């Protein structure tokens, strides 16, 4: 059909243009990263004139990029995992157990999300200074948990709400305690949701610059986000190195997403109840 | 008393209205789950699951997941999960309400057969009175959490304890007429409020007549006669509903037609709307209820 063929071509073209607009910054990042150090300002076209990997080599040989990436992975994994464990248990309790003040707890948790991170970073700094948590990995993890946990609680409450309580009732009649019903029935069904929370937590922690810059001083404890910013000097910026670092910085998040996204499948609940 | 025991220690199995199957487990794992929780070895579990699956006709479906099953099959899996534990008591919470009519009739039979085979007590909650009548050994009629009557299906049907049960059990329900009873020269009669001239003869032995406020009779007990003979009540056919084997007639009684009764005819008599008919209400089939709706005299039923 001519009509549908024409509209299909149009749609494909529109998608292609949109894709190029979205992906161009990433492409440009790659072009600069592959240009020899100091030459990015003399780029004439949109293609790299001479491709080199020396920026990447320099990142890992002359700068502690590997260490920064390692720190970032540790902080992001630990804070998202702990937020997940904390959020899932709170969310489960708020979803399943009726107790006085549960609504208030939810609202208070939400209220913490209403304040911008910039407004809590100073009180957090003072608190951490008093507890001796400044410039430590534990402090960093704790700081990121405070960013991620509130949403983890809300999201997991939503996921648990969507799992019929009858399933747990059935499990308890079938011989489970409350805890084993949670373990055998509710938790496996909540996995797609929990995976989404983990990804959210990982990405939030990974991208955080404010807390990382404020709570950590020692270069050996920097996360990659702080590391990348260090290429920007007072008088000049090492664009090529910075872009190479940014590319390396993006990889772990993509890997985590690809691993976890398989868990996010819809229709996991189909067939359980009518 | 099991009220204070945790659910798993009550020796009760339950089939949920919505089946509550574990969606992430196969049919075999669903049925075998109670045994797994009881710590029974996988090999023994498999044998028992196969046994129960055979009983319920689920043999070929053990590897499937609940989402791949039809409504009736899911229902059977839910029953299998209950049966496998061999509990003392089964609770069925409206298990057939989500099935289509044909499947419901079939599952009704299967559950009844299963009940005979297992011999365990089954408590079956239903809003469907046909289910209640056909499946039960004993029926408990509940209204707003209160027991209205306990009895065999026959007792409940023939001698409803009050006007609520009379109206609730049976389709069409029992005809309940408001009025007063009195002992006249020709014997005890019941005079409907809607048309006091219609005197309905009560059985000779009827007791507590002054208290009587309602009279009940099952539609199929009303005898519809042609125009002839010694009928008691005259009326006209107002409405006809044919359902194949039986015909329901709504008959407006008396000169005013202020009182209607529903009758059920089995003999295929042909009537048309507006036809004059005569109605006989056999005295031994009547029930009398007091002002609060409670059954007065069983002898009248």
Q: How far is A184 from chain B (nearest CA, A)?
A: 9
Structural domain includes residue A173: yes
CB B20 within 8 A of CB A272: yes
Confidence (pLDDT) at A265: 61
Structural domain includes residue B300: no
Residues B116 and B178 in one domain: no
- β partners of residue B190: B181, B200
| Domain extent at residue B255 | 173-289
* Weakest mean pLDDT among A20-29, A85-94, A181-190, A259-268: A259-268
Dihedral of CA B54/B57/B60/B61: which sign?
Answer: negative
Q: How many CA atoms lie within 13 A of A98 on its CB side?
A: 1
Cβ contact A172–B19 (<8 Å): no
Structural domain includes residue A95: yes
- Tally of structural domains, chain B: 2
| pLDDT tens, residue by residue, B243-257 | 888 888 898 887 777
Residue A86 has pLDDT above 90, yes or no: yes
Cα gap B117→B99, rounded to integer Å = 23
Percentages of chain A per state (helix, strand, coil), in multiples of 5: 75, 0, 25
Name which residue leads in pLDDT, A212 or B245: A212
| pLDDT tens, residue by residue, A87-129 | 999 999 999 988 999 999 999 999 988 888 888 889 999 999 9
Q: Which residue of A has its CA nearest to B25?
A: A185
| Domain extent at residue A234 | 60-273
Residues B131 and B187 in one domain: no
Cβ contact A174–B71 (<8 Å): no
Structural domain includes residue A181: yes
B237 sits in the region (left: phi over 0; alpha: psi -120 to 50; else beta) called: beta
Instruction: List, as ranges, residues 30-89 from B with C-beta within 8 Å of A.
Output: 33-34, 37-38, 65-69, 71, 74, 81, 85
CB pairs A-B closer than 8 Å: 82
Q: Which residues of A touch B (CB under 8 A)?
A: 164, 166-167, 169-177, 180, 184-185, 188-189, 267-274
Q: What mean pLDDT value characterizes chain A?
A: 88
Cα gap B113→B99, rounded to integer Å = 19
Structural domain includes residue A11: no
Confidence (pLDDT) at B228: 47
Structural domain includes residue B75: yes
Cis, bond preceding B172 (omega within 30 deg of 0) = yes
Structural domain includes residue A18: no
Q: Residue A137 carries which DSSP code?
A: H
**Number of helices (H), then strands (E), in chain A:** 12, 0
Q: How many CA atoms lie within 13 A of A2 on its CB side?
A: 0
* Weakest mean pLDDT among A28-32, A210-214, B268-272: B268-272
Cα gap A228→A242, rounded to integer Å = 6
Q: What is the pLDDT along chain B (301 residues), one digit of tens a residue?
A: 888 988 888 889 999 888 899 999 999 999 999 999 999 999 999 999 999 998 888 889 999 999 999 888 898 899 899 989 889 999 999 888 888 888 888 888 888 988 998 889 999 999 888 889 999 999 999 999 999 999 999 999 999 999 999 999 988 899 999 998 888 877 888 888 888 888 888 887 766 778 888 999 999 888 887 654 554 788 888 888 888 888 888 988 877 777 888 888 766 567 888 888 888 888 888 888 999 989 986 544 4
Structural domain includes residue B294: no
Residue B16 CB partners (closer than 8 Å, separation 6+): A166, A169, A170, A273, B78, B93, B95
Which of A170, A190, A267 is the best mutation test for B, with the most CBs of B within 10 A?
A170
Rounded to 5 degrees, φ, ψ at B187 are 130, -170
Confidence (pLDDT) at A2: 55
Planar angle of CA B202, B246, B269, nearest 5 degrees: 80
CATH, residue A147: 1.10.3720.10
Structural domain includes residue A8: no
CA-derived radius of gyration, chain A = 24
Average pLDDT of the segment spanning A224-246:
85
Q: How far is A77 from chain B (nearest CA, A)?
A: 27
């Amino acid at each position: 059909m001519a009509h549908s063929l024409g509209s299909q071509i149009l749609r494909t073209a529109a998608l292609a243009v949109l894709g190029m607009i979205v992906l161009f910054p990433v492409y440009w990042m790659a072009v600069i990263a592959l240009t020899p150090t100091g030459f990015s300002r003399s780029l004439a076209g949109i293609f790299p004139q001479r491709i080199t990997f020396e920026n990447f080599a320099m990142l890992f040989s002359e700068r502690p990029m590997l260490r920064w990436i390692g720190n970032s992975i540790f902080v992001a994994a630990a804070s998202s995992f702990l937020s997940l464990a904390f959020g899932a248990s709170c969310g489960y309790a708020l979803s399943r157990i009726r107790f006085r003040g549960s609504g208030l707890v939810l609202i208070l948790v939400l209220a913490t999300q209403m304040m911008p991170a910039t407004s809590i970073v100073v009180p957090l700094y003072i608190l951490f200074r008093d507890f001796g948590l400044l410039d430590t990995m534990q402090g960093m993890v704790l700081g990121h948990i405070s960013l991620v946990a509130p949403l983890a609680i809300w999201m997991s409450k939503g996921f648990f709400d969507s799992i019929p309580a009858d399933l747990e009732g059935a499990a308890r009649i079938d011989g489970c305690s409350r805890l084993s019903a949670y373990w055998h029935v509710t938790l496996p069904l909540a996995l797609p949701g929990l995976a989404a929370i983990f990804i959210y937590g990982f990405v939030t922690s990974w991208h955080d610059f404010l807390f990382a810059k404020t709570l950590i001083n020692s270069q050996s404890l920097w996360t990659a986000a702080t590391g990348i910013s260090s290429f920007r000097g007072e008088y000049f910026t090492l664009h090529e190195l910075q872009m190479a670092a940014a590319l390396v910085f993006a990889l772990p998040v993509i890997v985590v997403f690809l691993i976890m996204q398989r868990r996010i499948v819809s229709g996991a609940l189909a067939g359980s109840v009518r | 008393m099991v009220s204070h025991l945790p659910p798993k220690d009550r020796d009760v199995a339950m089939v949920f209205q919505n089946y509550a199957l574990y969606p992430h487990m196969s049919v075999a794992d669903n049925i075998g789950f109670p045994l797994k929780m009881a710590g029974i070895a996988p090999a023994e579990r498999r044998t028992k699951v196969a046994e129960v699956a055979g009983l319920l006709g689920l043999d070929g479906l053990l590897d499937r997941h609940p989402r791949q099953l039809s409504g009736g099959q899911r229902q059977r899996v839910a029953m299998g999960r209950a049966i496998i534990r061999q509990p003392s008591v089964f609770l069925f919470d409206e298990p057939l309400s989500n099935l289509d009519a044909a499947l419901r009739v079939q599952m009704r039979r299967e559950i009844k057969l299963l009940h005979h085979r297992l011999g365990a007590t089954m408590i079956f909650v239903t809003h469907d009175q046909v289910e209640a009548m056909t499946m039960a050994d004993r029926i408990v009629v509940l209204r707003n959490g209160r027991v209205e009557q306990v009895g065999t299906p026959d007792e409940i049907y023939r001698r409803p304890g009050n006007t609520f049960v009379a109206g609730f059990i049976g389709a069409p329900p029992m005809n309940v007429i408001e009025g007063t009873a009195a002992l006249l020269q020709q014997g005890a009669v019941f005079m409907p409020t809607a048309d006091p001239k219609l005197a309905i003869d009560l059985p000779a032995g009827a007791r507590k007549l002054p208290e009587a406020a309602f009279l009940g009779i099952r539609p199929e007990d009303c005898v519809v006669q042609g125009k002839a003979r010694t009928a008691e009540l005259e009326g006209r056919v107002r409405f006809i509903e044919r359902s194949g084997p039986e015909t329901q007639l709504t008959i407006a009684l008396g000169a005013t037609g202020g009182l209607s009764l529903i009758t059920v005819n089995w003999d295929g008599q042909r009537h048309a709307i507006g036809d004059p008919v005569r109605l006989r209400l056999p005295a031994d089939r009547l029930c009398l209820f007091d002002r609060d709706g409670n059954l007065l005299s069983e002898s009248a039923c």
